[in-house]
Structure 1
């Protein structure tokens, strides 16, 4: 192994000092500009990601994706893409169509229509042991809301139901005699057993 003949630079002369380091007149402004550019890029990425999650057309999502639906006014809803394993209540996209006026497979599916045309049919992604407020038949089905199981129902038209059992892979769940059932074949078979939350022992 060989070494360079002079691996270290010579030190200052005896009694002398190192020359003062000159600061580059453009260095600080360039660093500040780099920080500003980095922040602008980060903001643009966040904005693009946020904008991309808003569902404005049926082609923005595919069957099997999940969306979170919120109400923004009377009979108006807004959908955003979501993680199907999210702790927040979500819907599965059961089917989609670019045509207007398309009906879903059954009336148990929720339905969202877009102003520019197109329809999403949605199946609720319920979790066993959780309770949900069910809308009136005249309301958009997408106004299901997750509620605490001890929350008193506001009125008989909005019962709060507890999902007592979830069975993936079947559209024919076996439930107790005191329970009712509902199932969805799309986007994949899933069945639920449920009962009024007030009937479930605390």
Structure 2
């Protein structure tokens, strides 16, 4: 999706389109999240968008998606695990152990999860499934939503103000980040496997 289309959507539907894209991205429907945030910053640097409104609607869309995922996990998640978990090797004992690990490191996982595609979409559902305290969850994800949104928008604004970045190429940023994520994950997995073999 090019910047001209996004600008057209924003002009047509106002900043609500930023809210919509990020909401869908968080709940798991494919959406150019990082590249959209970066693009908002670049367009703000070019004077085509208001950065403050962009940050506000990005935050609201992200936070709303996190809450929607939480309640979806809370009311739908565990029944599905109990019914179909055995078919993918997720027994009740494994679910309990995973729940203990997740809740123990929930604060770190919630914040770091924003910056990792895939984990960002899974964390809200897992938090709901494991009934993480909603007040604690809301505070952490509220802060994380703002931090994540502002980081990419300010990065786009800073680079867009310094270098002649063509907004039409910004959407490819999301693809690049996904490739980096996959490569780093594979490297960590291979290193872990090698360490495990070394101990044997």
Class of the TM-score when normalised by the shorter of the 2 chains: under 0.3
Greater gyration radius: 1
TM-score for the superposition, normalised by structure 2: 0.24
Query: Structure 1 length as normaliser, TM-score?
Result: 0.24
Q: Greater strand percent: which structure?
A: 1
Structure 1 or 2: more helix by fraction: 2
